[in-house]
Structure 1
Amino acid sequence: MPEAYERHLVPALFRPFAADLAARAAALRPRTVLELAAGTGALTSALLTAAPTASVIASDLNQAMVTAGSAREPRADWRQADAQELPFEDGTFDLVVCQFGVMFFPDRPAAYNEVRRVLAPQGRFLFNSWGPLAAHGFAAAFQTALKESMPGAAPAFLEDVPHGYTDLAQVASDLAAAGLTLAGAEEVTLDGSAESAASVATGFLTGTPVSAVLDARQDAQGIRTAVAQRMTALLGTGPVTAAMTATLYTAHHQA
């Protein structure tokens, strides 16, 4: 999964937002940074380039991602860590960042409470999450293709998880429950580019939990082929570009 994620999804979906988030983080002039849900290191690399003097710890729950990320971006200190039980001392970091990870936390207030605990008193928490599925050109096309290829049986993973945390009031409430104040929320729309629609389809099919659903089916290969063909019909042949919308949040300790 990390290999498929890195090859097919990171360039198209995550790298554009990593550059944006890293620039915003660098403007805060952080000295000690903790990254949560770092994956294979798209944001990690952008952070270290934008803020070369910062000390960055990149963490992820998935050891396979940590292994892949540490090989790809050795400038960071990589740790396997559960965001809901962080293995760091109180007040250690003046910046905590998370790119497209908070949607996956089973207990967000618990994870946010850990963020508050490890943040220095004047520290900041920067994170983003995807907007509605319809506002993401690649994901919307994929889900349409998946539903057409698996009538009545298409996994709802993309709708329910990556694109299922879009209520600003809920985000503010979850942060407040952990002793954090939501200081800002900005909608960001960027273009993503991929070598082909089929490449993006492969990324979603093999680099996300959708793969586990397909692996259990005898017609898995036929579905994968049909999804790739349908995505190509929707997005076009050759290199493809699509607009993607996310929300960038800034939070800090409650006054």
Structure 2
Amino acid sequence: MNGPDNDKAFTGSIAAIYEEYLVPLIFEPYAVDLAHRLAASRPLTRVLELAAGTGVATRQLACVLPESVSIVATDLNQAMLDLADAIGTARPVRWRQADIQQLPFRDRQFDAVVCQFGFMFLADKAAAFREAYRVLRPGGVLVFSVWDRIEENEFADVVTTALGAHFPEDPPRFLARTPHGYHDLAEVTRDVRAGGFRGPLEVSTVASRSRAASARVSAVAYCHGTPLRNEIEARAESRLGEATDIAARAIARRFGSGVVDGKIQAHVVTAVR
């Protein structure tokens, strides 16, 4: 019922729930990795972040990079940026609403472009890579992450399977379709090359752990804090609670009734202009 057009809609209360539940569940380890990876890569003056969301990677960049390095953080969804700004960073960051596929910046402005888990949401990924290439200075670096296949990300896989069984005629497939739908490294490489990057690509597959105080917390993170919520409510708004209960029970059956701990895995790609 819902599809790719709604997969970018982090609207309403999703932003706040995303920050409270999903950020600590799956995003924080990769934000730390990305910031330290970038800091070790080369001297920097200006950094552009794409798809910053509620600022989990931005906060790490602001802590790890020298204060002399300016940071511009963008996202398509103003609600996400408003929350990121309200949470704040260790030092000033410029927040700006922007579409990755049509960046409002001049050519060759940045030493680095970073994007944590954003390219998966785009219809024209090659166009987004072309924009990153355009705004990078010669020798500048693009560092981005994409989730590996859903089977390597245990909570997301369990939730998707459970909801698929509950809605067999029209299963909600947001998690498999979009966050975990851009894991093929051959496809990613083709898109990066189509964007203009010609040098060697450095690819690291990074496994980590996803932990939550309970199965319920993990279920709320996915069912309320992502556009999966839009898919569920498209069937009937009243079914969000029901779907969350189903997801929580499925996670508890697999991982236990107390603290839950599951595998997460992503690819981190570095390309030089």
**TM class by smaller structure:** over 0.9
Cα deviation, residue 195, structure 1: 1.7
* Residue 35 (1) aligns with residue 52 (2): no
Consecutive unaligned residues of structure 2, counting only runs of 5 or more, are 1-13
Q: Secondary structure at the match of 2:201?
A: strand
CA distance in 2, matches of 1:91, 1:201: 42
State the match for 2:63 in structure 1: 49
Q: Give the conservation status (yes or no) of the 8 Å contact 2:223–2:243.
A: no
* Residue 237 (1) aligns with residue 250 (2): no
Cα deviation, residue 73, structure 1: 2.4
Cα deviation, residue 214, structure 1: 1.9
State the match for 1:18 in structure 2: 31
State the match for 2:11 in structure 1: none
Q: Give the conservation status (yes or no) of the 8 Å contact 2:223–2:240.
A: no
CA distance in 2, matches of 1:219, 1:161: 22
Q: Give the conservation status (yes or no) of the 8 Å contact 1:2–1:40.
A: yes
CA distance in 2, matches of 1:173, 1:226: 38
Amino acid of the structure 2 residue aligned with 1:230:
A
Amino acid of the structure 2 residue aligned with 1:118:
V
Alignment of 1:169-180 (within 5 A): 169-180=186-197
Task: Give the root-mean-square deviation of aligned CA atoms.
Answer: 1.3
CA distance in 2, matches of 1:138, 1:42: 20
Spell out, residue by residue over 1:74-93, the C-alpha distance to the aligned partner (whole angstroms, 9 max, x if none).
43110000001111111111
* Residue 214 (1) aligns with residue 232 (2): yes
Spell out, residue by residue over 1:117-170, the C-alpha distance to the aligned partner (whole angstroms, 9 max, x if none).
100101000001000100012211211222233233221111111111112121
State the match for 1:114 in structure 2: 131
Deviates further, 76-85 or 186-195: 186-195
CA distance in 2, matches of 1:228, 1:112: 37
Deviates further, 191-200 or 107-116: 191-200
Q: Secondary structure at the match of 1:234?
A: helix
State the match for 1:83 in structure 2: 100
Consecutive unaligned residues of structure 1, counting only runs of 5 or more, are none
Q: Normalized against structure 1, the TM-score is what?
A: 0.95
Alignment of 1:64-213 (within 5 A): 64-74=79-89, 75-181=92-198, 182-213=200-231
CA distance in 2, matches of 1:126, 1:219: 39
Q: Normalized against structure 2, the TM-score is what?
A: 0.89
Spell out, residue by residue over 1:186-234, the C-alpha distance to the aligned partner (whole angstroms, 9 max, x if none).
1111112212221111111111111112223143322222222222222
Deviates further, 114-123 or 189-198: 189-198
Identity %: 40
Q: Secondary structure at the match of 2:263?
A: strand
CA distance in 2, matches of 1:69, 1:4: 13
Amino acid of the structure 2 residue aligned with 1:59:
T
Q: Secondary structure at the match of 1:180?
A: coil
State the match for 2:9 in structure 1: none
Give the number of equivalent residue pairs. Answer: 253
Amino acid of the structure 2 residue aligned with 1:187:
T
Q: Secondary structure at the match of 1:5?
A: helix
